[in-house]
Structure 1
């Protein structure tokens, strides 16, 4: 493909992203898009444009032609788009390259460990991409786009496994602790009983190098702001009670990733927070954003409770249908909170051991750089 054709595809891609995701493309869809080789990008963009226009009521015949599919196959493509977003549009390909070796002694795992130790704040997907670039034989050049995406996803899982292993390593934790916190919001697999049954939603404040949940709160989806305020307050208490903070150091401030509740705009928080953080990343409602920052560190569950991030703000979810394929406790709010906090404690046990061995818990300060970020976040929430 010549440079002019590549430029045309890039321009079209940016135009479609602006149309389909006016508030910004989700991280999950960005991962899918980046994994598609340039030679197959036009086909994916044709499919994306076709389903997007079909959802807006345009005649289906010409759009099926644009996607190079028959009417029945185009119907299935629209279903895949609604269910899986951009991943549902990637053409399936059964050919494969070299398998991703995920054994404990895998050279790929060693590469992941080295990259994570050198930059603990790297996103799993970015580490996976670097491994993929360093091992081009993992992806066959003649394989389809779906194969490249599959390899990237497998590498992400490998990196995530390695990150979770490192949270129990006192040396790693000692070197990386306090570099980043995230404040996330996600549905969890607990059904709240009452006049209207609904999935519970948890606010989670986490230190990412250790995976420690500093504070958390559980409730209903409409109370995201209050839940995050409660999680922040619990985190502040944890640092104080356990002498687990780091001394203030103006040139070494933590970064903060914050998944905002839908009723809060990032612009109202930035001025309050920027003096206390090295980097501020605000997530917006929509797509698959909820819970992704926490899941990068913990995997799909906290303790024994699965995280259901994609269902965080679903207004029309059928709980009875949901329970046909899942086992979830159906309890009143207060009991749900007790169940959740027990699983948070279960999740934290090994992390507390590692932090104690690293002389962070019990060997730190009660009011330092993490507390400063938490207090600023509480002020920002109050004034937003």
Structure 2
């Protein structure tokens, strides 16, 4: 990558920022103050090819940006992106509800929410319920260079051992990429299981850091994260089919 006008290599700066975010994600005080403060819903391609399909698989991910914890995810194909985002959000809601007796953190306000719409969806005015459940709300329009960027900025270019391919999520060249650089050609069940193993691998040290920070205890549960995810799921379910 060429240096910018000030002679600073942007890739070096971005790598340093990711390093600092990973460092902070292990800091107990930072986690206590910032866990569940900002939530993202993003979509990215990954170099796995489902057997019989020439395109890259994609995953929808709901993530806490302070810790990098994957709250919910769903694996599939780009044609089902809207459903993947909805399922990932519902999984995140179920995860938070299951963890509720043990989740306790200092931030008790409504979370910020950053989400990107599924392909072929135009900009849309958010419903009052979603606005009420979020401190700030950013809904981004779909685009080749929009998908996956929030995930990469938060946790870097990999989930577990699987590299992310965000710029190939909508790229017209994704079929060529899939033929030449695929990680695995698996049947749907094996492909999904492969992704789930790496998502768990990603989450394991984060859950340990949350436990060390004292965030997995039984007092003072925060219901605002649940309210946000519930409103988000309702919003996604209301989007018209394309």
Give the one of 45, 49, 56 matched to 1:191.
49
Matches within 5 A, 1:60-209: 146=4, 148=6, 150-194=8-52, 196-209=53-66
Question: What whole-Å deviation, never above 9, does each CA across 1:312-349 have from its counterpart, x for those lacking one?
Answer: 02345334x5443x351101222111111110100001
State the alpha-carbon separation in 1 of the partners of residues 219 and 212 from structure 2.
12
Q: Are 2:206 and 1:351 equivalent residues in the alignment?
A: yes
Question: What whole-Å deviation, never above 9, does each CA across 1:166-222 have from its counterpart, x for those lacking one?
Answer: 11222211111111000000001111111x321100000000101100000000001
Bigger mean CA deviation after superposition, 148-157 or 230-239: 148-157
Residues 69, 207 of structure 2: 8 Å contact kept: yes
Question: What whole-Å deviation, never above 9, does each CA across 1:234-280 have from its counterpart, x for those lacking one?
Answer: 1111112122366995xx21100101102434424343311111111
- Shift in CA distance, 205/257, structure 1 to aligned 2, threshold 3 Å: same
Residues 157, 163 of structure 2: 8 Å contact kept: yes
State the alpha-carbon separation in 2 of the partners of residues 300 and 294 from structure 1.
8
State the alpha-carbon separation in 2 of the partners of residues 240 and 379 from structure 1.
16
User: Comparing both structures, which one devotes a greater share of its residues to helix?
Assistant: 1
Aligned length: 237
Give the one of 124, 135, 140 matched to 1:278.
135
Matches within 5 A, 1:296-311: 296-311=153-168
Could you say what secondary structure the match of 2:174 adopts? coil
Q: Which runs of 5+ in 2 are unaligned?
A: none
State the alpha-carbon separation in 1 of the partners of residues 122 and 198 from structure 2.
31
Structure of larger gyration radius: 1
What TM-score comes out, normalization by structure 2 length? Answer: 0.89
Residues 144, 168 of structure 2: 8 Å contact kept: no
State the alpha-carbon separation in 2 of the partners of residues 156 and 214 from structure 1.
24
State the alpha-carbon separation in 1 of the partners of residues 7 and 113 from structure 2.
29
Could you say what secondary structure the match of 1:318 adopts? helix
State the alpha-carbon separation in 1 of the partners of residues 221 and 84 from structure 2.
23
What TM-score comes out, normalization by structure 1 length? Answer: 0.57
State the alpha-carbon separation in 2 of the partners of residues 383 and 322 from structure 1.
32
Correspondence for 1:225 = 82
Matches within 5 A, 1:336-375: 336-363=191-218, 368-375=223-230
Residues 104, 217 of structure 2: 8 Å contact kept: no
Matches within 5 A, 1:238-257: 238-243=95-100, 244=103, 249=108, 252-257=109-114
Residues 201, 218 of structure 1: 8 Å contact kept: yes
Q: Which has the higher contact order (CA 8 A, sep 6+)?
A: 2
The CA RMSD measured in Å over matched residues stands at 2.3
Deviation of residue 165 (structure 1)?
1.6
